[in-house]
Amino acid sequence: MDKKKFGIQQVVAAGIGTALFVVLTEVQIPLVIVPNTALQVRAALLGFLSAVYGPIVGCVVGLLGHALGDAFFYGGVWWSWVVPEGVVGLVIGLLAKYYNVREGEFGGKQIGIFNLVQVVANAVAWIVVAPVLDIVIYAEPANKVFAQGALAFLANVIITAILGTLLGVAYAKLIAKSSSLQKED
**CATH code (residue 126):** 1.10.1760.20
Which residue in 130, 17, 152, 28 sits closest to 79, CA to CA?
A: 130
51 CA to centre of own chain: 9
CA distance 153 to 37: 10
What's residue 35's pLDDT? Answer: 75
Q: Is the pTM for the entire model greater than 0.85?
A: yes
Number of domains composing the chain: 1
Structural domain harbouring 76: 8-95+102-178
pLDDT digits (tens, 9 = 90+) for 113-149: 999 999 999 999 999 999 999 999 999 999 999 999 9
- What are the pLDDT digits (tens) for 40-95? 999 999 999 999 999 999 999 999 999 999 999 999 999 999 999 999 999 999 99
